[in-house]
Amino acid sequence: MVRSKQGGKNKGASSSQPPKYSKKQRLQIREPSPDPALQSDSESEEQAPIPLRSVTFVDKRVMGGRNIDLNFCSSEFSFVSWLEDLNLIPLVQISDPFYIKLVKEFYSNIRMASNQNEEFALSSSVKGERIYLDARILASILHIPHTGLYVFEHKKWPEVEGFHPNQILSILYPNDPNVLPNLALTTNRLSVDHRLLHHIIVHQILPTGGGYAKLSRMQVFLMWCILSKIEFCFPLLMLKTMVRAFSQKKSVLPFGSILTKVFQHFHIRLEGEVATKLKKEDTYNKSTLNRMGWKKQEGIWTYFPKVDQAPRIAREEQEDNPPWEAQEQTAPAQPQAQGSSSTTDFDRMMSSCNLSLLPCKPRLMVNLSKSRRNSVVWRKIIKYFIPNTKMLMKASTTI
């Protein structure tokens, strides 16, 4: 059943939405897989804060966060009402400037402040002031709930009562029955509401630092919770994301603007510190939607990707998810070419060549047909004629 916000406001049409539920739900979950980023640190018997392994923060990027123009978005999109149902609107109204130096100091001093059988908590210090955070404290700072289920999976789908991957995928991709749980999931076919909800998750709940082209299984599960009004302990997820961001060498440092509120709560002096303001595009409004390629035509928000976005989309599709969001993908078996390079191999390579090289096509065809696959001659031809050599040389081993 399509769910829409009532009250006389016109909504931009979106593809498909989940069944309407009368109230928030609480579900039972199965024991999740252990989290390698947290497991070893939480098993210590010491009562003092447990130091995490040291990581260099000089080159790590700090993510500020995103927010929404509430008046505009609430009159145009349904995702605002989904957030309202779970009292998460304050999370998307944070627009404070953030302090890169203080954020890096916070992460560099993070310590585990709880043991395995205790409520999860962490501590840190900034400018000599101690910070202690658990889900309840963080929730009170951000004015969001701290109750509900909690589960986190790295590679497989979460096992939660009532959660069926095929069901949520049929909601997110109503016009594509070929989208299956064991395949890589992309965002380019999501409705505008689902696309914006994914953006909010990527920036404010489970930051990744990568692009928006891919959907991780955990992100899909969080979307299901929000769409289905399932109470989830988002503050706890955010705290554990902070620890993972600390312990993973290639991750970004998330929650810049959120940490500003944390610093203010613990009376950390911000005077004299260099503040970084959020950019205009960090607020989702009509201009942001237009830059994203969404246009409203005849009352319906439709996606028109710009030509100059093609390189960015291609780059995002090649980006790997962070280690804690890696997906196990089952790729269909590809037939392997036998003997020398085939005409298909040649056509695949020529599709990457410049048009100016077409006059040499017959000679190139002859040379390739006489060369064994992966031979020195074969590789020299590739290196000479085809751009993006580094990427293609890697791909050539699979042709």
Task: Quick: pLDDT tens for 303-357.
Answer: 987 665 556 555 555 444 444 443 333 333 333 333 333 344 444 444 444 433 4
Per-residue pLDDT at 321 = 46
Pick the last residue of a domain from 325, 359, 387.
Answer: 325
Does residue 23 belong to any structural domain of this protein? no
Does residue 105 belong to any structural domain of this protein? yes
Same-domain status, 309 and 388: no
Per-residue pLDDT at 315 = 52
Same-domain status, 94 and 180: yes
Does residue 7 belong to any structural domain of this protein? no
Does residue 11 belong to any structural domain of this protein? no
Same-domain status, 151 and 280: yes
Using CA atoms, how far apart are residues 369 and 347, in angstroms rounded to an integer? 12
Number of domains the chain is built from: 2
Same-domain status, 349 and 207: no
Pick the last residue of a domain from 293, 325, 357.
Answer: 325
Buried b (16+ CB within 10 A) or exposed e, 79-101: bbbbbebbebbebbebbbebbbe
The burial class, CB within 10 Å (0-12 / 13-18 / 19+), for 339 is exposed
Per-residue pLDDT at 399 = 39
Does residue 14 belong to any structural domain of this protein? no
Same-domain status, 390 and 276: no
The structure tokens 């202690």 sit at 132
Per-residue pLDDT at 381 = 60
Which ranges of the chain have pLDDT less than 50? Answer: 1-16, 19-22, 28-31, 36, 39-47, 53-54, 318-361, 387-399
Per-residue pLDDT at 255 = 97
**CA angle, corner 23, sides to 21 and 26, nearest 5?**
100
Same-domain status, 78 and 161: yes
Per-residue pLDDT at 247 = 80
Same-domain status, 42 and 163: yes
Does residue 164 belong to any structural domain of this protein? yes
Does residue 30 belong to any structural domain of this protein? no
Same-domain status, 52 and 154: yes
**CA angle, corner 66, sides to 176 and 207, nearest 5?**
65
Pick the last residue of a domain from 325, 360, 381.
Answer: 325
**E strands within the chain?**
50-51, 67-68, 111-112, 121-126, 129-134, 185-186, 214-215, 283-284, 294-297, 300-303
pTM of the model: 0.68
Does residue 123 belong to any structural domain of this protein? yes
Same-domain status, 227 and 319: yes
Same-domain status, 311 and 358: no
Residue 354 is part of which domain span?
343-396
Using CA atoms, how far apart are residues 67 and 284, in angstroms rounded to an integer? 6
Contacts made by residues 69-74, CB under 8 angstroms, sequence distance 24+ = 69/283, 69/284, 69/285, 69/286, 72/285, 72/286, 73/196, 73/284, 73/285, 74/5, 74/9
- Residue 119, CA distances (Å) to 30, 88, 122, 236, 270 in order: 18, 22, 10, 10, 30
Contact 142, 238 (CB under 8 A): no
Same-domain status, 147 and 261: yes
Contact 223, 17 (CB under 8 A): no
Per-residue pLDDT at 310 = 55
Same-domain status, 316 and 169: yes
